[in-house]
Amino acid sequence: MTTFDYIVVGAGAGGSAAAARLSEDKRFSVLLIEAGRDDPWHWLRVPLGIGKVLTGKRALWRYWTAPEPHLNNREIFWPRGRVWGGTSTVNGMLWVRGDPAEYDGWALPGWDHPSLLPRFRRMESTALGDAAWRGRDGPVHVTRYGPEDPLSDGFLAACEGAGMARNPDYNGARYDGAGYLQTNTRNGLRHGAREAYLRPAQQRRNLEILSQALVQRITLDGARAVSVTVRRDGQDETHTCRREIILAAGAIDTPKLLELSGIGQAARLRGLGIEVALDRPGVGEGLRDHLHTRLSFRCRNAVTLNQIMNNPLRKALFGLRYLVRRDGLMSGSTSTVHALVRTAEGPGQPDMKLQLHPMSSADARAAGKLVFDRFPGFGIGTFPLRPRATGSVHLASNDPAAPPRIQANYLGHPEDLARAIAGVRLARRVAAQPAMAAFHPVEIRPGATAESDDEITGFIRDTATTSYHPVGTCRMGQGADAVVDADLRVHGVEGLRVADASIFPTMPSANTHAPSILVGEKVADFILGRE
Specify the pLDDT at position 369.
Answer: 67
Between CA 234 and CA 353 the distance in angstroms is: 45
Helix axes 513-528, 13-23, angle to 10 degrees: 30
Q: Tell me 404's DSSP state.
A: P
Catalytic residues: 469
Between CA 36 and CA 123 the distance in angstroms is: 24
Tell me if residue 466 falls in helix, strand or coil: strand
Q: What is the pLDDT of residues 221-263, one digit of tens each?
A: 999 999 999 999 999 999 999 999 999 999 999 999 999 999 9
Q: Average model confidence (pLDDT) for the chain?
A: 95
Which residues share a beta bridge with 356? 337, 380
pLDDT classification of 169: cutoffs 50, 70, 90: very high
For residues 279 and 490, is the Cβ–Cβ distance under 8 A? Answer: no
For residues 265 and 411, is the Cβ–Cβ distance under 8 A? Answer: no
Between CA 390 and CA 412 the distance in angstroms is: 7
Specify the pLDDT at position 326.
Answer: 87
Give the chain's domains with CATH numbers: 2-41+193-288+471-528 (3.50.50.60), 49-79+129-190+290-466 (3.30.560.10)
Which residues share a beta bridge with 294? 381
Q: What is the pLDDT of residues 295-347, one digit of tens each?
A: 999 999 998 999 998 999 888 888 888 888 888 778 888 899 999 999 998 88
- Residue 366: pLDDT over 80: no
In the chain, count H helices and then E strands: 14, 27
Mention every residue, 6+ apart, whose C-beta is less than 8 A from residue 502. 250, 251, 254, 255, 471, 472, 473, 474, 475, 483
Specify the pLDDT at position 48.
Answer: 87
SS3 content of the chain, % helix, strand, coil (to 5): 30, 25, 45
Average pLDDT for residues 386-415, to the nearest whole number?
98
Mention every residue, 6+ apart, whose C-beta is less than 8 A from residue 221. none
Burial 284-311 (b: 16+ CB within 10 A, else e): bbbbbbbbbbbbbbbbeebbbbbbbbee
Average pLDDT for residues 159-169, to the nearest whole number?
97
Any long-range contacts for 106-112 (C-beta under 8 Å, 24+ apart)? 106/476, 106/477, 106/505, 106/506, 108/476, 108/477, 108/486, 108/505, 109/486, 110/486, 110/522, 110/531, 111/476, 111/486
Amino acid at 166: R
Average pLDDT for residues 160-180, to the nearest whole number?
97
Is the four-CA dihedral 199, 171, 254, 39 of positive or negative sign? negative
Specify the pLDDT at position 161.
Answer: 98
Average pLDDT for residues 164-183, to the nearest whole number?
97
Q: Tell me 20's DSSP state.
A: H
Q: What is the pLDDT of residues 12-27, one digit of tens each?
A: 999 999 999 999 999 9
Q: How many CB atoms lie within 10 A of CB 491?
A: 17
Specify the pLDDT at position 345.
Answer: 86
H or E segment at 391? strand 391-394
Amino acid at 206: N
Average pLDDT for residues 432-446, to the nearest whole number?
98
Mention every residue, 6+ apart, whose C-beta is less than 8 A from residue 50. 90, 91, 92, 93, 333, 334
- Residue 370: pLDDT over 80: no
pLDDT classification of 148: cutoffs 50, 70, 90: confident
CA 228-254-51 angle, to 5 degrees, is: 120
Q: How many CB atoms lie within 10 A of CB 396?
A: 13
pLDDT classification of 1: cutoffs 50, 70, 90: low
pLDDT classification of 367: cutoffs 50, 70, 90: low
